[in-house]
């Protein structure tokens, strides 16, 4: 039976890598194994598990945060933010890249959707950076890495899903993610400034004429509209959660309403835009929940086949200890990120290892943040990093895949070193 559990796990990975739809592969293969090898009476539990997912109040935050993010993306927030930040930081070498990182941070905190952030930043800032003489590797690496900050900076959909799977407070995850999230932003900025200091020709400053041109067209109003209002919205959403005034779901509803009003104030709200936002929200939400249903089925069958007991027995036989097991899980998640999406990792791998973390009495809030940072690297790891695909799809014709890979490697190294620091010094988080 334990061998069957491992075969189920391996066959799922092979089918996903072959290109089959994740949600239907998870649910379909699990049901085939269940019908063949699990007692029929045990399958009566599955409908109850599905209904508990539908009634989970925390997961209602997922469509609301997606709606908030897509609506802010359609409002043209990124372009105005970039112009605003370029005026503030563009006077020094590397200033435009710093502006891109800060815009990526604000978009991460307001949208939390990596694909939308990377595509938007790629369309707006990459041609501008290349035209001003930025080295292609620095420009692409900055955009791709800053676009992934939505994985760790709250409100993050990744943290909401991890909170549900690990059965911990999403609010506590948000609170614990703030310091590492902004520290990672600081590391990115420090790297860019060091590069610009050593090789200023790779990251030239904006000319006074360019800055004057950006300032000339109602800069004060743009500063309020593009920077102040989104910051107020972000602080309101996060502040209500961190202060205990609202649950993540209630704060997500507040954020969705605020994004709607912000788009209306900017004159970007129309029936066609609203329809597009609702269609995209429904599509992304349906994808997440279909994968979640399939993962629930997989988790149930895996346990019924004795997979959990087998893993515990293997870990005890190897005498890894808590930190050894943590290192093994981090390595598995990192390698899996080369090939499969973060949602699949959360719903396939995390439910299997979570009971063992509990057995070792490790703090699951700390584990959740480590996993979130590790999953962030999956968007940058060649050859299948999704940020690389997103950026390549909108990059000018002269930008090669090799340049994209070379550009993200330094940022990937920063993330790995940062993850090691968090593992070695857990007091930074908890």
Paired tokens of 164:
């549900």
Instruction: Write down the pLDDT at residue 216.
Output: 63
Packing angle, helices 321-336 and 401-424, rounded to 10: 160
Paired tokens of 219:
């800069």
Instruction: Write down the pLDDT at residue 1.
Output: 66
Instruction: Write down the pLDDT at residue 26.
Output: 80
Catalogue the long-range contacts made by 282-287 (C-beta closer than 8 Å, 24 or more residues apart).
282/63, 284/66, 284/70, 284/113, 285/62, 285/63, 285/66, 287/23, 287/343
Cβ atoms of 120 and 113 closer than 8 Å: no
Neighbours of 307 (CB within 10 A): 22
**Of the candidates 415, 402, 413, 393, which has an alpha carbon nearest to the alpha carbon of residue 126?**
393
Alpha-carbon distance of 60 to 44, in angstroms, equals 25
Instruction: Write down the pLDDT at residue 192.
Output: 93
Length of the chain as a residue count: 430
pTM to 2 decimals?
0.80
Note the maximum CA span of the chain.
75
Paired tokens of 378:
């999956």
Q: How far is CA 128 from CA 82, 83, 198, 215, 314, in A?
A: 11, 11, 22, 17, 54
Please state the domain extents for the chain: 2-428
Instruction: Indicate the burial class of 389 (C-beta count within 10 angstroms; 0-12, 13-18, 19 or more).
Output: middle
Cβ atoms of 177 and 153 closer than 8 Å: yes
Instruction: Write down the pLDDT at residue 293.
Output: 82
Q: Name 109's Cβ contacts closer than 8 Å, sequence gap at least 6.
A: 150, 153, 154, 155, 234, 238
Q: How far is CA 95 from CA 87, 89, 150, 204, in A?
A: 9, 5, 22, 8
Alpha-carbon distance of 84 to 221, in angstroms, equals 10
Compute the Cα dihedral for 9, 11, 16, 22 and give only its sign.
negative
For residue 206, what is the DSSP state? P
Mean pLDDT, 10 residues at a time, the chain of 430 residues: 80 77 80 85 79 76 82 72 74 86 79 68 81 88 86 83 88 88 92 91 80 67 72 82 83 87 82 89 83 80 78 75 88 79 79 86 91 86 73 81 88 92 78
């Amino acid at each position: 039976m334990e061998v069957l559990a491992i075969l189920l796990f391996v066959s799922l990975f092979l089918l996903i890598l072959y290109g089959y739809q994740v949600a239907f592969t998870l649910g379909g293969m699990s049901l085939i194994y269940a019908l063949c090898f699990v007692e029929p009476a045990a399958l009566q539990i599955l409908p109850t598990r599905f209904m508990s997912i539908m009634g989970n109040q925390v997961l209602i935050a997922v469509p609301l945060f997606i709606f908030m993010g897509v609506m802010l993306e359609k409002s043209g927030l990124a372009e105005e933010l970039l112009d605003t930040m370029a005026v503030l930081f563009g006077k020094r070498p590397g200033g435009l890249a710093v502006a891109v990182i800060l815009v990526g941070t604000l978009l991460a905190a307001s949208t939390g959707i990596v694909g939308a952030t990377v595509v938007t930043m790629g369309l707006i800032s990459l041609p501008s950076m290349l035209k001003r003489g930025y080295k292609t590797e620095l420009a692409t690496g900055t955009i791709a890495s800053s676009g992934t900050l939505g994985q760790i900076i709250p409100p993050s959909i990744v943290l909401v899903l991890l909170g549900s799977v690990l059965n911990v407070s999403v609010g506590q995850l948000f609170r614990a993610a703030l310091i590492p999230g902004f520290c990672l932003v600081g590391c990115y900025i420090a790297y860019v400034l060091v590069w610009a200091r050593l090789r200023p020709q790779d990251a030239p400053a904006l000319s006074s004429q360019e800055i004057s041109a950006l300032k000339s067209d109602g800069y004060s109003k743009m500063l309020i509209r593009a920077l102040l209002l989104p910051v107020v919205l972000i602080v309101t959403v996060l502040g209500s959660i961190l202060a205990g005034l609202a649950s993540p779901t209630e704060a997500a509803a507040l954020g969705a309403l605020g994004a709607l009003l912000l788009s209306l104030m900017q004159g970007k709200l129309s029936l066609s835009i609203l329809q597009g936002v609702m269609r995209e929200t429904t599509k992304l939400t349906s994808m997440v929940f279909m994968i979640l249903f399939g993962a629930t089925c997989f988790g149930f069958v895996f346990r019924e086949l004795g997979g959990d007991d087998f893993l515990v027995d293997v870990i005890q036989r190897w005498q890894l200890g808590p930190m050894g097991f943590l290192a093994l899980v981090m390595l598995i998640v990192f390698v899996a990120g080369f090939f499969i999406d973060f949602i699949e990792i959360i719903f396939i791998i995390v439910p299997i290892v979570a009971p063992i973390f509990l057995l070792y009495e490790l703090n699951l809030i700390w584990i959740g943040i480590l996993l979130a940072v590790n999953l962030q690297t999956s968007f940058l790891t060649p050859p299948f990093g999704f940020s690389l695909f997103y950026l390549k799809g909108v990059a000018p014709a002269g930008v090669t895949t090799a340049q994209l890979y070379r550009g993200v490697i330094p940022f990937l190294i920063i993330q790995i070193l940062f993850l090691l620091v968090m593992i070695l010094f857990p007091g930074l988080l908890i």
